[in-house]
């Protein structure tokens, strides 16, 4: 798993690296653009939504939402990622912080129409995911939604098949979403499969 310094060093080439994996339809980023587009369309169905992005990286998704008039808040632990994202979104409210320790305090003082996370929350253990998502649900406006796009699977068997196919490329340090298992804590969770290794999970308040 990359630490803060690692993400800083990777920041400038991040979008290129992700794009190559998506174009080749290979783990871990097969379906990446479709994942982002699905979340983008869902958010824009509510005009001028207030959006919190957890682990926004270079702002690939949030910059597009910003351009469409959304009010953007975000948290990332890489100073370089924040610098790159801020250049695209000068009016966004971006904070540095390790989300494994929770939300930055200024972000806890607000409510959001959408809380989104793309390819970031797999750094949390399954118990940490449950605690964090429970907290995020309390940060939503009534009828608000959490949207998570990530390496994610409907079942554990689906994950195991992907692991076998990926072979040595599989990252054992990352803890990917298994929708059926997460539904034990969040029965109303829905899952949309995008590729053999990606999907969008949704929780509504």
Question: Using one digit for the tens of pLDDT, what is the confidence trace for 123-171?
Answer: 999 999 999 999 999 999 999 999 999 999 999 999 999 999 999 999 9
Confidence of residue 74 (pLDDT cuts 50, 70, 90): very high
Q: Which pLDDT belongs to residue 183? A: 98
Strand partners, 65: none
Q: Among 49, 177, 72, which Cα is nearest to 122's?
A: 177
Helix, strand, coil abundance in the chain, percent, nearest 5: 45, 25, 30
With cut-offs at 50, 70 and 90, classify the pLDDT of residue 186.
very high
Mean pLDDT across 64-93 = 95
H helix or E strand, kind and range, residue 64: helix 62-67
Q: By percentage, how much of the chain surpasses pLDDT 70?
A: 90
- Mean pLDDT in residue range 32-44: 92
pLDDT at site 13: 47
Per-residue pLDDT at 21: 67
Spatial separation of the C-alpha atoms in residues 200 and 30, rounded to whole Å: 13
- Residue 32 pLDDT grade (very low, low, confident, very high; cuts 50, 70, 90): confident
Strands (E), 31-154: 50-54, 71-76, 93-96, 112-118, 140-150, 152-153
Query: What is the per-residue pLDDT for 23?
Result: 77
Asked whether the bond before 118 is cis by omega within 30 degrees of 0, the reply is: no
The structural domains of the chain, with segments of one domain joined by +, span: 4-21+29-88+97-204
Q: Give me the chain's average pLDDT, please.
A: 91
Neighbours of 199 (CB within 10 A): 23
Q: 4-21+29-88+97-204 in CATH: which number?
A: 3.40.50.150
pLDDT (mean) for 173-200: 97
At which residue do the structure tokens 């190559």 appear? 20
Give the 3-state secondary structure of residue 51: strand
Question: Residues of the chain with pLDDT > 90: what percent?
Answer: 82
Band of residue 17 on the pLDDT scale cut at 50, 70, 90: low
Closest CA to 202 of 145, 160, 153, 135: 145
- Assigned token pair, 136: 């995020």
pLDDT score, position 20: 63
């Amino acid at each position: 798993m990359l630490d803060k310094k690692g993400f800083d060093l990777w920041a400038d080439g991040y979008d290129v690296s992700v794009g190559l994996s998506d174009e080749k339809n290979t783990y871990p980023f097969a379906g990446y653009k479709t994942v982002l587009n699905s979340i983008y369309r869902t958010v824009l169905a509510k005009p001028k939504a207030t959006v919190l992005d957890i682990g926004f990286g270079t702002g690939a998704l949030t910059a597009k939402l910003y351009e469409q008039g959304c009010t953007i808040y975000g948290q990332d632990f890489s100073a370089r990622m924040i610098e790159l994202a801020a250049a695209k979104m000068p009016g966004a409210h971006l904070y540095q912080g390790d989300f494994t320790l929770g939300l930055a305090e200024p972000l806890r003082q607000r409510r959001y129409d959408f809380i989104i996370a793309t390819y970031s929350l797999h750094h949390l253990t399954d118990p940490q995911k449950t605690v964090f998502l429970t907290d995020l649900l309390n940060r939503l406006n009534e009828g608000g939604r959490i949207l998570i796009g990530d390496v994610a699977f409907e079942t554990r068997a689906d994950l195991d098949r992907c692991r076998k196919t990926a072979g040595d490329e599989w990252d054992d340090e990352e803890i990917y979403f298994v929708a059926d298992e997460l539904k034990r804590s969040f029965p109303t969770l829905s899952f949309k499969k995008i590729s053999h290794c990606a999907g969008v999970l949704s929780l509504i308040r």
